[in-house]
Structure 1
């Protein structure tokens, strides 16, 4: 592409050529027609005649200057060259912008590749550790099997003896009790060892009977549960058929109160949980999933160590990751389903490395769907009555879309907040908190913006030790549940 200086130089050169052509066009040099061959003259005679002609015939003062039409062409050419120079400047600016964006894209891809390499290395290390543990377990099992075979005999023989013993026990259980004939009565001098063996067999048979009874009871319980569900459905259908003006009036049939055995829909039913883990099913059509409960609060985020890497991509944050018994993130899909099924409030618990605990709460909390890029669509009033209070460092993020290291959805035009903060979150430009950042166990007081910080609690440079993010449904309907 020709630069502006070269275009201007070319324009000046063409203008000079046109001016010269114009001057040549304006000169009145008219050559008379040749009627006969000119006489042969010597060079001295020719020079004498030319000198005489130039002295004798001066240019008349009344001669009109020649008209030159190349001036207009020169003006038009100059204008076009100026336009070309302007277009050239614009194209150069656009190329510079494209180069800058390409550099940013290369940097972004390099950061993503480094993150993927780190995750791959971490996965490979865990896989190697798992294989090592598996090899140790196999060797230990082989040793135990060998010792067992040496002590108790070959495995197949023991299995056969166990089967024969079980069959004999089942026969003894199914056999009716009857008095033993006199000829089979035990002799007075029978040894105590035989009596102990018979007692052991009977105890084993009784244990087998109790096990089978427990299985039968469990089957009956499942049948009762299914029957109760069918009765509840029938009761709801019957309730719909009764006119509203008859319900609660004298003479109206009272419906029996059956126990509510429907699946849990929130941690308000935490009494159904096992070691703090509860299985939820929000609607009869939706898939069930497990959550961690802290009382009647549903834990959606827990961070207390650097065992789990939170610098992850969009798919990981969409589905969730980690261990419900340790550090984890519940997943944006589940969080959207929970906050869409009922209105929730938000509670965040912080702890620094000196043991100081603080709280931040918001009256309402909800996020949007994946089609909307999971925005922080609902964030209510900050609950300043919680003590000790960590302050409000989340309201600045209200309405922002969720961003990860491979999906930049923030409002920063010339940066990626997720890459800058080494994590993910609802970033605006960029933010006043970073609870999904990197965990810093060393130099936590000067970790900077990449650490786990809450601006109104210890500032942006301090990386916190523990963070727990919880939600709880509010409203009368969920409270009745």
Structure 2
């Protein structure tokens, strides 16, 4: 298709040619090449003179109208040139708009591609987690079936032995009772019934004692196993390094080496304990509350938690007050043994609530410290805070200078003024700003220290503590 300005230029050229030809025909007068005619008679001369006068007047009229047509053609050409310029400007604007539209389409395509890649990555991560959960369920079913089979065999054999033993006892009783049965059957039957009742109760008592002995033996074996696992150093006796209130009578129990967790310290009072996870690892201090290891404590605005990646990796604060233990130490603790998690919260009205999870562990720095394991939320608590952490399971840790959340258009750490395992973005914010009581803590927005299922996202809490405790084999029996 021809452009409009080309068509207009062609029209201008044609009009110019027409104007030029019309002007030339009007101005141009043909030359007389023949000899003059013979003088006419007088009468004819008057007529000829009148005719020539008319001819001269016609030429004069034609000559006067030619400049007017030329001026009209000039105005027409000027108008056409202006229209051509206007069309050229419109064409340039149209090309510019098309370029802008093409650029926006390219940006939209790039953004859509990035979103699709992110969705694919999330789907792959979800499939991986689903496969791992299915594998764990399969292993759990196999283990339960194995334990069930073993239990059935054990109790089946015991039941058979008990029945045989009862049958032998009855045979012996019958043999002893035959000589006297003819003398006094009612009295003998009553005595036999009483004896059978006594034997049954005695057997039940013996059975319960056997079960208790077996349980105690199992606990002792497991306790010895724990002591062997924790005794990595020399056999020299060394008490734990403990800073806090003194123990009973000022004496602490002796240990072959540094404990690996607060649960092995047997200290009933809060304090600071030095632990060593393995013989090759470096020892470090932790804050203990009974057998729980405190990894996060918030109770005032003395410590700023809006920090960068390096601070959260190494830890910061005061173990005797507000602090965070550090992602490196937390990874070392949760990778040395499977831990359970307890989160204790308090609002400014004095209400204390808990949120307990059956298991808890995080990954290494090369994985960006993801929340790899978060067990089932325990709903049977008397004062439960509700579950506002399961949403974050599997998410990577993010800080204000290291954004690892799944939000493409925001930085969740900056949005909530803290850090944490954000996933587009959060249902809790334990690492957020501390809002004191003299400020508007009840309407702090999502930048405070909040738990969505307890007082909502706009209410900034007064106190928060995160604590972990190892779940080792036989530990539940020791607690009972």
Does 2:405 match 1:391? no
Structure with bigger gyration radius: 2
Counterpart mapping for 1:116-131 below 5 A = none
Q: For 2:451, which of 451, 454, 460 is the aligned residue?
A: 454
Q: Is the 8 A contact 1:410 1:416 kept in 2?
A: yes
SS at structure 2 position matched to 1:348: strand
Deviation at 1:289, TM superposition (A): 0.9
TM-score when scaled to structure 1? 0.51
Distance, in Å, in 1 between the alignment partners of 2:276 and 2:31 is 120
Is contact 1:270-1:293 (8 Å) kept? Answer: no
For the residue of structure 2 that corresponds to 1:347, the secondary structure is strand
Indicate if the aligned counterparts of 2:268 and 2:290 stay in contact, CA closer than 8 A. no
Deviation per residue, 1:454-475 (Å, 9 max, x gap): 1111111111111010011102
Alignment of 1:318-467 (within 5 A): 318-441=313-436, 442-467=439-464
Change (3 A) 1:43 1:358: closer
Distance in structure 2 (CA, Å) of the matches to 1:404 and 1:385: 34
The yes-or-no answer on 1:305 pairing with 2:300 is yes
Deviation at 1:11, TM superposition (A): 4.7
Residue 312 to residue 81, structure 1, CA distance change in 2 (3 Å) = closer
1:306-365 Cα offsets, whole Å, 9 max, x none, are 111111111111111000000000111111111111111100001111111000000011
Indicate which of 2, 5, 15 corresponds to 1:13: 5
CA contact (8 A) 2:235 2:256 kept: no
Report how many residues are paired.
276
> Counterpart of 1:475?
472
Q: Which whole-Å deviations, capped at 9, do the CAs of 1:39-89 have from their partners, x for residues lacking one?
A: xxx941179xxxxxxxxxxxxxxxxxxxxxxxxxxxxxxx99988864442
Which of these residues, 24, 30, 33, is aligned with residue 45 of structure 1? 30
Cα offset, 1:400, TM superposition: 1.3
Can you give the 5+ residue segments of structure 2 that lack an aligned partner in the other structure?
A: 19-26, 33-90, 111-230, 237-253
- 3-state DSSP class of the match of 1:476? coil
Structure 2 counterparts to residues 116-155 of structure 1, below 5 A: none
Distance 1:459 1:477, change over 3 A: same
Counterparts of 2:234 and 2:314 in 1: how far apart (Å)? 34
> Hey, what does 1:256 align to over in structure 2?
none
Q: For 1:90, which of 74, 87, 102 is the aligned residue?
A: 102
Q: For residues 417-440 of structure 1, what are the alpha-carbon distances to aligned partners after superposition, in whole Å with 9 as ceiling and x for unaligned?
A: 111111111111211111111111
Following the alignment from structure 1 to structure 2, what is the Cα–Cα distance between the partners of residues 370 and 46?
A: 107
CA spacing shift, 1:470–1:290, aligned 2, 3 Å: same
CA deviations 1:131-170 (Å, max 9, x no partner) are xxxxxxxxxxxxxxxxxxxxxxxxxxxxxxxxxxxxxxxx
Structure 2 CA distance for aligned equivalents of residues 324 and 82 of structure 1:
68
* 1:33-182 aligned within 5 A: 43-45=28-30, 86-91=98-103
**Alpha-carbon distance in structure 2 between the residues aligned to 1:18 and 1:85:** 27
Q: Is the 8 A contact 1:296 1:472 kept in 2?
A: yes
- Shift in Å, 1:384: 0.6
Aligned mates of 1:339, 1:395 — CA distance in 2: 18
1:419–1:11 distance in 2 versus 1, CA, 3 Å: farther
Cα gap change, 1:418 to 1:231, in 2 (>3 Å): closer
- Aligned in 2, Cα 1:275/1:445: closer, same or farther, shift over 3 Å? closer
| Alpha-carbon distance in 2 for matches of 1:424, 1:359 | 21
How far the C-alpha of 1:477 sits from its partner, in A, is 6.7
Aligned equivalent of 2:42: none
After TM superposition, give the deviation of residue 301 of structure 1 in Å.
0.4
